[in-house]
Structure 1
C-alpha cells in the first residue's frame, strides 16, 4: 500500500474517537447491556462513565439487590456532581416503602433538577409506605423540555366494562407538587403528570408561563382543583385530561389553534351520591383530528353541539360516552370521520350515523339499539356488550343479526351477568327466532370473547348460545374463566364439552341444532401455540382451566 493510502486510513476517525456516538449507542441499550460495553476499551469505559443519560430502577421485588442499587445510584450522582458531568436525561423507577427513603429520593431529585443542562426528567414512583413531595427545583431547569411524573399509589378497580381509578384522597400515600417557586422552565414542550397532587397555583403558573408547550397530559391530578385552564398555547397539538368526577373541577380550553388530539375523560365514581353535573367551557380549534369525550354529561343534542360542531372539518377519530343521554335516539353526521367509538345508555333505541368515510365502529352498550349507517363502507365493527341474562329477548338477537351485516368483519366482547336463583331461567323460542331472522347465520365474526360473572345451573344446555349461534357462527371464541368462581369454572368450556361431544344424540332429537353445523372444534391455551382437537380427555377442564382464557377454534359447515 502506498503512503497516500496509509495516510488516508490513519486520518479516518474511529468509532472510539467520537464519545458522543458511543454514548448515543449506550443510551439505546438496556442498562445491564450498556454497562457491559465499558469492558470493550478505555474509550467505551470513559463514554459510559460520563454518559449524559441516567436510568435507575430500584424495585421492592429485588430485595437482595435493592441496597446495592441504592448505593450505586448515590455514588453515581455524587460523582457526576463532583466532576461536573452533564446530565441531560434522568429516568427513575423506584419503590418507596418508608418516609426515610422518600426523603432521600427527594434529595436525589433535587440534586438532578438543579442541573442547568437537564432536558428531560422522568419519575415513576411507586409508594408503599410514605408520601413524597417533589422539590421546588423541579421546575427550575431553563433547558428543560420534558417532564414526566407518574405515581402508582392509586389503585385500579373494574366496574363493568370501564376501569375506574380510586382517587388519591382515598389513599394514605401520594406524590405532590406544591412548589412556591415560579416556573423557570420556559422551554418546556411536554408535561405528563399521572396521579400527582398538584396545587392550582402551580398548575396555572406552568400553563400560563410555558407558552411552547406541545403535549399536555394530566391524568387524575385534579383533586382539590376548582378549574383547569388551558389557554393561549399556540403550539399545543395534544391535550389529554382525565379526572375522577365532574362535580368539583371545571375545564376550560380556549385559543389552542393547532390542537390535533384532545381527550377528556371523567370517571364518575359509582359510590358518589352527589348530583351529576359538568362545568366545561371547551372551545376547540378547527384542526382537531382525534377527539375523546368520556364522562362529560351529554344529555341531548344541544349539549353535545356546544363542543362538537360543524367546524371540525378534519375530524377522523371520535370517542363518545353517552351514558347520560336522555333522548331515545342519537343522530350524528361527519363527512371526514373514519373511526367512531360509542358508549350508549339503555335509553337509546336508535343510533343513526351519516359518515361516508367511516370504516371502523365500536359500540359499548347493555341493551342493543338499532343501527343505521347509510352510505358508510364499514370494514370492522366491535361490540362490547355487558348483558343481563334476564333482560334478553328475541329482539336483542334480531337487532344483533342486522348489526352484524353492516361490516365485513366483526368482533364481539360479551360480559354476561347471569340470573340469580330467585329469577326464572332464561328461555327463548328458537323456532320462532328462526322464522323471524331475515338472514342466515353471519360468518364474519372473527373473534368472540366471553365471560360470565356468576354461576348458572343450566350450562349443560345454554339457551343464550342456542340463540346466539342462530345469528352467527364465530371463528375464534376466547372463553374466560368465571370472574367470581374460586375454581375458575368456565361455562363455555362446559358448553362445548357437553353439546359438541354429544351432538350425535342431539341430531336425533332436534333437527338442524347448532352443533350439527360444526365440523370439529380445536382448543388451545392462549399462552400456548399448540392446538388440540376437542375430545373426552378434555373433560378435566370442567374443574377449571386456570385463570387464563381458553381459545376455541370453531369450524362450521
Structure 2
C-alpha cells in the first residue's frame, strides 16, 4: 500500500535534470526510463539533444526507409510544437538522409535555443551536399562541426554567407570547401572563438586570424599552402598546428608568427626551416613545451634547437637531404623522436640529455662505416632508445668485419628491423642486422622480411 502511495506521488525531479540523466545513458536505456512516470516519458519525448546515427549496411531497405521517416516525423514534431533544440548531431550515410537534413537545417539553426550542430557525412560520391547559409545563423550557436568523408563530395557554402553566430566558440570544418571570404568573415565576426579546426580543400591565398583574444587552439590543414597566413593579437593561443596535405613541398611565402609567444604546443608541416626559424624558437616561443615538425625543405645545414622550456620534440624528414649536425640546447627536453632517411649526428649542449630517444630510419641506399660509428656515438648517451629501421636498399652493404663492436650498448628497449628486398639480397640485409646486434643488445627484437618469397 505504501509503495502504491509513493508511486502516485508527483515527480520531484526537475525535467531538466531528468533530460540530463537521459542524455548520459545509452539510447535504449534512456528510452526505458519512459516507464517510470509520465514526467520521465515527457522528458524523453522533448529532450533538447537530438542525435541521428545510421549505418545503411546494417539496415534492410525497408528499415532504412522507416528510419528516415522516423527522422522526418521527429523533426516535424519538434518544429511544429516549438520544442527547444539545443544540439543536433547527424551522421548521414546516404543521399536521401542528407537531403532530409538539408530540409531541416535552416529551421533548426535559427532557433534561439540552438547551441551545438554536428554533421558527419559518411557515404560515397553520388551527389553534392550544399550546406545552406543558415548553418551560420544561430545567434546562440556554441559549436559547429561539419566533417565529410574522403570519398564523398565536398560540402560547400555560398561565397559570402551572412554570419550571425556571434557566440560561436568551437568551429570544426573537415574536408569542407569554403571560400576565402567566408573563412575570413567568420574569423573577424566570431570574436569569441576558442577552438578552430579547419581542413580545407579549396585554394586560399590569404588567411587572417586577428583579434581573437579568447582563441586557445588553432589547427589548419590545407591542400595547398597559403600565400599569407597572418596571426595577430591572439594572447591566449596555446596550440597551433599547420599542415599541408600535398606530398610535394611548396613553402609558404609569408608566415607571421609574431603572436605565438604563448603557444605551448606547435605542429608545423609546410614551412621552410632556416636561421630565422631557429631564432624564433630560441627568442620568441618562450612557453613552448611540445614541438612537432614535418620537414620537406631547409636552408640551414646546421640546426640549432635552443629553447629553455621545450620538453618534447618530434622531427620527421621527408627527403634524403643530409644534415651534418642537429644541435640541442634544451635543458628540459626529455623526449626526442627522429624520423628520417639519413642518420644524423646529434649534439646536446646542455648538461641534461633526453630520457628517451626514438630513431626511425628509412634507408634507400647502402650504408657504410660512418653510419654505425654515428649510431654508436648516439647510443653512448644515458638515454633509453627505441630503434626502427626500414631497409629498402638493393645495393650491397659496405660493411667490413672491423665494424663489429666489442662492448654493445644495453640501453635499447626495442629494435625493429624491416627488410624490403629480393631474396638474392637477403644475406646482405642479414649482415646489416648482425652488425646492429654487435652495436646494441636490445631487450626486444622484431624482424620483418618482406619480398615475393616471404
Instruction: Using structure 1 for the length normalisation, give the TM-score.
Output: 0.73
Q: Is the 8 A contact 1:245 1:266 kept in 2?
A: yes
In the alignment, which of 288, 305, 319 is matched to residue 332 of structure 1?
305
Secondary structure of the residue aligned to 1:192 is strand
| Aligned position for 1:54 | 50
Distance 1:50 1:451, change over 3 A: farther
Report the equivalent of 2:370: 395
Q: Which residue of structure 1 aligns with residue 205 of structure 2?
A: 226
Superposition deviation, residue 481 in structure 1:
7.4
User: CA, structure 1 residues 67+223, in 2 after alignment: closer, same or farther (shift >3 Å)?
Assistant: same
Alignment partner, residue 415 of structure 1: 390
CA–CA separation in structure 1 for the residues paired with 2:110 and 2:421: 56
Secondary structure of the corresponding residue to residue 229 of structure 1: strand
Residue 368 of structure 1: aligned partner: 343
Note if contact 2:203-2:223 (Cα within 8 Å) is conserved in structure 1. no
Paired with 1:276 and 1:260, the residues of 2 have a C-alpha distance of 24
Q: Does structure 2 retain, via aligned residues, the 8 Å contact 1:95–1:126?
A: yes
Q: CA deviation at 1:194?
A: 0.8
Residues in 1 aligned to 2:47 and 2:382: alpha-carbon distance in whole angstroms? 53
Q: 1:51 to 1:457 in 2, by over 3 A?
A: farther
Q: Give yes or no for contact 2:227–2:252 (8 Å, CA) kept in 1.
A: no
Give secondary structure in 2 for the equivalent of 1:109. helix
Aligned equivalent of 1:440: 407
SS for the counterpart of 2:139 is: coil
- Residues 1:467 and 2:446 aligned together: no
Partners of 2:51 and 2:277 in 1: CA distance: 47
Contact 1:102 1:130 in 2 (8 A): no
Cα distance, 1:416–1:143 mapped onto 2, change above 3 Å: same
- Paired residues of 2:11 and 2:39 also in contact (CA < 8 A): no
Conserved in 2, the CA contact under 8 Å of 1:140 and 1:184? Answer: yes
Q: CA deviation at 1:16?
A: 6.3
Pairing 1:75–2:65 present: no
Report the CA distance between 1:113 and its aligned residue: 1.4
Q: In structure 2, what is the equivalent of residue 501 of structure 1? A: none
The alpha-carbon deviation at position 86 of structure 1 amounts to 1.2
Deviation at 1:453, TM superposition (A): 4.3
Aligned 8 A contact 1:131 1:173 in 2:
yes
User: TM-score w.r.t. structure 2 length?
Assistant: 0.89
User: Residue 85 of structure 1: which of 83, 102, 106 is its match?
Assistant: 83
Q: Which residue of 2 aligns with 1:95?
A: 93
The DSSP-based 3-state class of the residue aligned with 1:78 is helix
Cα drift, residue 225 of structure 1: 1.6
Separation in structure 1 between the aligned mates of residue 421 and residue 98 of structure 2, nearest angstrom:
43
How far is 1:195 from its partner?
Answer: 0.6
Alpha-carbon distance change, 33 to 373 in structure 1, aligned in 2, over 3 angstroms: farther
Secondary structure of the residue that 1:376 maps to in structure 2?
coil
Q: CA deviation at 1:249?
A: 4.2
Structure 1 stretches of 5 or more lacking a match?
1-5, 155-171, 490-557
**Structure 2, gaps ≥5 residues long:** none
Aligned twin of 1:206: 186
1:454-507 Cα offsets, whole Å, 9 max, x none, are 54434467122111212222233455674x76x8x4xxxxxxxxxxxxxxxxxx
Aligned with 2:93: secondary structure?
Answer: strand
For residues 30 and 301 of structure 2, what CA distance do their matches in structure 1 show?
Answer: 60
Whether the 8 Å CA contact 2:148–2:155 is kept in 1: the answer is yes
Residues 462/376 of structure 1: CA separation in 2 closer, same or farther (3 Å cut): same
User: Per the alignment, do residues 250 and 19 of structure 1 end up closer, same or farther by CA in structure 2, a change over 3 Å counting?
Assistant: same
How far did residue 226 of structure 1 move? 1.8
CA contact (8 A) 2:269 2:294 kept: yes
Give 1:48 shift.
Answer: 1.6
How far off its partner does 1:223 sit?
1.5
Which residue is equivalent to 1:549? Answer: none
Q: CA deviation at 1:179?
A: 6.0
Give distance in 2, aligned partners of 1:86 and 1:357: 51
Please state how far the C-alpha of 1:370 moved relative to its aligned partner. Answer: 0.5
Is 2:427 the partner of 1:425?
no
What displacement does 1:379 show? 1.3
Indicate if the aligned counterparts of 2:89 and 2:117 stay in contact, CA closer than 8 A.
yes
The answer to whether structure 1 residue 265 and structure 2 residue 243 are counterparts is yes
Shift of 1:321: 3.2
CA contact (8 A) 1:16 1:43 kept: no
How far has the Cα of 1:208 moved from its partner?
0.5
With over 3 angstroms needed to count, the CA separation of the structure-2 counterparts of 1:350 and 1:15, relative to structure 1, is farther
Superposition pairs of residues 141-540 of structure 1, within 5 angstroms: 141-153=138-150, 173-178=153-158, 180-219=160-199, 221-246=200-225, 249-270=227-248, 276-298=251-273, 300-305=274-279, 307-344=280-317, 346-374=321-349, 375-388=351-364, 390-419=365-394, 424-426=395-397, 428-429=399-400, 431-434=401-404, 437=405, 440-459=407-426, 462-478=430-446, 482=450, 489=454
Structure 2 distance, partners of 1:216, 1:358, is 28
The one of 18, 23, 26 aligned to 2:22: 26
